Structure 1
Amino acid sequence: MRNVITAAEMRETFMQTTAELMDADSRLSLVLAAIGAGGDQLGPLLRKHPERAFDVGIREQLMVGMAAGTALEGYRPILHSYAPFLVERAFEQIKLDFVHQGLSGILVSTGASYDWSQGGYTHYSPSDVALLGSIPGFTVHVPGHAAEVDAVLREAAGSEERVYVRLSTRSNAEPFPEGIGGFAPFSQGRQGVVVAVGPMLDPVLEAVRDLDITVVYTATPSNLAKFPVDAFGREAVVLVEPYLEGTSASRISEAMGRKMHRLLSIGVKNRDLHRYGTPEDHDRWNGIDPQSMRARIVDFLY
């Protein structure tokens, strides 16, 4: 059964871990755009570390440019906002100020594809992972549990990579840290393999219950080009992603190489429904609830 935890749990873990990392490592900087600067755990960091923690107001493009400036000064910046504001609104600045200048940092979003559905289309961002995949050098993590958020952030803080961490209110019941940067196998079957990304694992396991199917979990879809074909390879692959459908298909195809295969992508449809509703409503409308996925998987594999 899908476990929808309290809306803040992944983000609360992000804030707590960021506070600990900022206190322990003077090389880290933090740049916010009018999010987390009030009563939560990020607000005190602005007062505690005023020389390297900043709130620029509702100016996400400036947030990215300023963070890149701290990187030029030798800091490792952490940037945080809602996914559509961090990635879509400030995409040009990410492309030019970070990628073109050869800089790195840690981008952390919240809201995922439509977690805050009552906010409407301005707060939906199913295309964020696809956008960052169009420019070079980003490691993309889509944690499936709050405990994975902590592990991802600590690893990212100690690296020099460009990292994007996509927080969500949706969660698997348990963490599987072996899926961070890698692939964790679950059920073993003969009819095909289903690759579940981040918080899609529990819905996938529910969808394929009693089916003769292999399920593999990853929290790092940017590494799907390294999918271990020899270990899990089947000629039929289903990729279930909590963002724009088809975003990671090319990476799976790259991993399969010249091996004959069929691929079905299941994710958020590329359309504007002009609806509010709940996140669960949007799952149904996009066909990524367990019942809809089961029908598509059975039709594809059987």
Structure 2
Amino acid sequence: MQDEKQEYGEGTGMDTMRERFVTVTSRLLDEDPRLALVLAEISMDGFRPARQRHPDRVLNVGIREQLLVGVGGGLALTGLRPVMHTFASFLVERPFEQVKLDFGHQGTGGVLVSASASYDWPAGGYTHMAPGDVALLDTLDGWTVHVPGHPDEAEALLRHAYAAGDDKVYVRLSQLSNAAARPVGGLGLRTVREGTRGVVVAMGPTLDDVLAATTGLDVTVLYAATVRPFDDASLRAAARRAGADVVLVEPYLAGTSTAAANDALAEVPHRVLGLGVGRAELRRYGTVEEHTAAHGLDPAGLRQRITAFLDV
């Protein structure tokens, strides 16, 4: 666990998305008696003070991820607003049946908050990588998915998720971060840069690399920190203004949002290129930066593929 703490900056004074999650959730547990937190050891150190104050609403089930989600579903049936947290691979992939049944089938709501998204902790190996998490949730109905690109965005979206009645929400936290936060109110696509020869959509922590990759190019850049529901109207409007060729840059499995973009542009002649994490397993785990480059998501890799597709 020590390596995990060092990787995420715990105890170093760094304000990561995961640390912001601990701070905000601990505070809101004091303020909202409906909020409950279920952990599977991960981040337990950060929540010890909150657990001491609220032993009935901060539960640690140990490394039992199916139980993590099952307990959350049970708490939801009692009227509480459950927050379930662990690594993305253990929160969405391993207990997928429980996510499908205990929330979808039972008609309950809750908030899944992940850490270690696509390849954020390479030292953890492939067991701790989940680039297919958003695509997997796309097979279920009614999930809102937030992909913040900065700790300030993470705080705003966490607060929104906790207050969202009985909705089903997934908040995908990352070790990667853009240099500055963007407004995330309204939960749709926002225009960051305008151009006339195509649209590039950057999702979550990919924005800085997309902006660097498109420097000097005559393209519109849109930003999304909330990716589900997909903002059909904003993409259609941008495509009509800037040309209907669209590049999607996602910090998870390449092509995850391609179908959504195609549906949004069904009445507009268009092409869509989906960029993201590849399906091939990279067995030399290396660093986060090396994974980003290997998947072609660094500025050089993005620029090459964007310019070739949009012919700019």
1:12 is aligned to: 19
Select the residue among 73, 78, 84 that pairs with 2:89.
84
Equivalence for 2:173? 167
Does residue 264 of structure 2 align to residue 258 of structure 1?
no
Displacement, 1:35? 1.3
TM-score (normalizing by structure 2): 0.92
Q: Note if 1:301 corresponds to 2:306.
A: no
> Match of 1:106?
111
- 1:272 matched residue in structure 2: 281
Change (3 A) 1:206 1:162: same
Task: State the alpha-carbon separation in 2 of the partners of residues 282 and 227 from structure 1.
Answer: 33
Residues 153 and 184, structure 2, Cα contact 8 Å, conserved in 1: no
SS at the partner of 1:238? strand
Q: Distance in 2 between matches of 1:71 and 1:287?
A: 41
Q: CA RMSD in A?
A: 1.4
Distance 2:167 2:48 in 1: 26
CA distance in 1, matches of 2:40, 2:162: 20
**1:32 and 1:54 in contact (8 A); partners too:** yes
Alignment partners' CA distance in 2, 1:47 and 1:263: 51
**1:144 corresponds to:** 149
Q: Once the 2 structures are TM-superposed, how far is the Cα of residue 281 of structure 1 from its aligned partner?
A: 0.6
Any idea what SS the aligned residue of 2:29 has?
helix
Once the 2 structures are TM-superposed, how far is the Cα of residue 116 of structure 1 from its aligned partner?
0.3
Other structure's SS at 2:297 match: coil
* Alignment-derived partner of residue 72 in structure 1: 77
Q: Supply the distance in 1 between the matched residues of 2:15 and 2:104 (Cα, whole angstroms).
A: 30
TM-score, normalised via structure 1 length: 0.95
Residue-by-residue CA offset, 1:166-189 (whole Å, 9 max, x unaligned): 000111111112366112112211
Match of 1:235 among 236, 241, 244: 244
Corresponding letter in the other structure for 1:273: L
Listed as ranges, the gaps of 5+ residues in structure 1 are: none
Amino acid corresponding to residue 154 of structure 1 in structure 2: R
Q: 1 or 2 for the larger relative contact order (CA 8 Å, sep ≥6)?
A: 1
How far is the alpha carbon of 1:231 from its aligned partner? 3.0
Q: Are 1:21 and 2:42 counterparts? A: no
In the alignment, is the contact (CA less than 8 A) between 1:176 and 1:184 conserved in 2?
Answer: no
Q: Which residue of 2 aligns with 1:287?
A: 296
Q: Is the 8 A contact 1:179 1:217 kept in 2?
A: no
Unaligned runs of 5+ in 2: 1-7
2:163 is aligned with 1:158: yes
* Matched pairs, number: 296
Q: Percent identity?
A: 50
1:48 is displaced (CA, Å) by 1.2
- Does the 8 A contact of 1:114 with 1:279 survive in 2? yes
Residue of 243, 249, 252 corresponding to 2:258: 249
Q: 2:50 aligns with which of 45, 50, 65?
A: 45
Q: 1:210 aligns with which of 207, 216, 222?
A: 216
* Deviation, structure 1 residue 284: 1.3
Amino acid at match of 2:60: D
Q: Name the SS of the counterpart of 2:228 in structure 1.
A: helix
Give secondary structure in 2 for the equivalent of 1:112: coil
CA displacement, residues 110-152 of structure 1 (integer Å, 9 cap, x when unaligned): 0010000111101111001111111111100000000011111
Partner AA of 2:290 in structure 1: D
Q: State the distance in 2 between where 1:123 and 1:36 align.
A: 15
Deviation at 1:279, TM superposition (A): 0.8
Q: Secondary structure at the match of 1:174?
A: coil
1:249, distance to aligned residue in structure 2 (A): 0.9
- The letter of the residue matching 1:237 is V
Q: Is the 8 A contact 1:236 1:301 kept in 2?
A: yes
Q: Contact conserved, 1:120 with 1:275, CA < 8 A, in 2? A: no
Whole-Å Cα distance in 2 between the matches of residues 227 and 247 of structure 1? 19
Distance 2:307 2:185 in 1: 25
- Report which stretch shifted further, 47-56 or 208-217: 47-56
Shift of 1:223: 2.7
Q: Distance in 1 between matches of 2:155 and 2:92?
A: 21
Determine the C-alpha separation between the residues in 2 that align with 1:86 and 1:119: 15
**C-alpha offsets along residues 83-121 of structure 1, whole Å, 9 cap, x if unaligned?**
001111111110011111001100000001000011110
